[in-house]
Amino acid sequence: MSYAELSGICRQKANTIMRDIAEFERFNISAEEIIEYKESVKEFDNMQIDQELLGLVTAVTHQKGKLAEQVRSRIKELSIFIKQYVGIKSSVYQSRIIKDMSRMTDLQLYRMANGVIRIARRIDNSSASAIEGIILELETTNNLFDKIIEEKATMAENRNIATDKRIEAANQLYEKLSNYCEIGRVIWYETHEAKYNDYIIYG
């Protein structure tokens, strides 16, 4: 059953148990316990659903993509200056300026940007002052890119943890529900068919 269906059935059966609480007390089930159970159902309902957490991850992923595009753009700009300074056949240029940055992972792109910044800062001629602004832009954007990479990873971890917590909470609610309904069926098995049916979870 869905989480919404579980919540609805738990609430319904809790109300039914309160109706028959005198009989349940013979099995050491008190009204206080059922009230506490209903509170657990409320807490379960107030847990963040996966769609909410997925929305947060999606939003951060979109921001990360925009920053990655800005990082790639600044790298391309700096690569032109570096090529002019060290030469296109230079091992420095060949090792640091990669043509297809779109295939890089986020961390590869971040490290590439740092390498380009280091090379650009070693340029010692009239171009140095001209590209300082681009270097600072890349450095600032790359630092933001690094932070949002970590933020997305943290959000993804939090989503996984929240999923596990919802599953655990749902299993605990259902386990108690099954136990209460079994007791209810035992109570009314031979004496009241309609009330016996009230404790059937399915059907």
pLDDT tens, 56-65? 899 999 999 9
Percent of the chain beyond pLDDT 70? 89
Alpha carbon separation from 192 to 17, 184, 195 (Å, rounded): 15, 11, 6
Confidence check: pLDDT of 193 > 80: yes
109-150 pLDDT, tens digit each: 999 899 888 888 877 665 556 678 889 999 999 999 999 999
Contact 119, 138 (CB under 8 A): no
How many angstroms separate the CA atoms of 134 and 68, rounded?
15
How many angstroms separate the CA atoms of 80 and 3, rounded?
56
| Mean predicted confidence (pLDDT) in 73-98 | 68
Q: How confident is the model at residue 88 (pLDDT cuts 50, 70, 90)?
A: low
Annotated domain spans of the chain? 3-49+163-197, 50-157
Closest CA to 121 of 135, 110, 107: 135
pTM: 0.70
How many angstroms separate the CA atoms of 114 and 124, rounded?
18
